[in-house]
Amino acid sequence: MAVFVVTWNLNKERGNYDAARRALLQHLERFDHTKDNGLESVRWISTAWTPDQIQKDLLTKLDKNDRLFISQITSGNHQGWLDEKVWTWINART
């Protein structure tokens, strides 16, 4: 299983922003995942899926004017300032 960072931006102008945000978060929670409380629209997920498969899946919850970025995290090739529990989760899976 690989670890991916998933980040997004929903168009806040839409009338159903809160419902769309909740739907996307619930959709992401189907994966083994973690989050850092300081990063609102970022999640790390662990899955055997490819980035293309993840994108196709998540696009079902997004509008055309929303944004999405997915990148695989590899051992020794990541750095940042995150909660310790997030690093523990990532490092246990990479």
Per residue in 63-72, pLDDT tens?
888 999 999 9
Mean pLDDT calculated for residue range 45-51 = 98
Q: How far apart are CA 49 and CA 77, in angstroms?
A: 20
10: region left, alpha or beta (phi > 0 left; psi from -120 to 50 alpha): beta
Confidence label for 61 from pLDDT (cuts 50, 70 and 90)? very high
The pTM of this model reads 0.91
Q: Of 46, 60, 64, 61, nearest to 6 (Cα)?
A: 46
Contacts of residue 52, Cβ cutoff 8 Å, sequence gap at least 6: none
Instruction: Measure the CA–CA gap between 80 and 57, rounded to whole angstroms.
Output: 27
Task: Give the count of beta carbons closer than 10 Å to the beta carbon of residue 33.
Answer: 17
- Predicted confidence at residue 18, as pLDDT, reads 87
Architecture of domain 2-93: 2-Layer Sandwich (3.30)
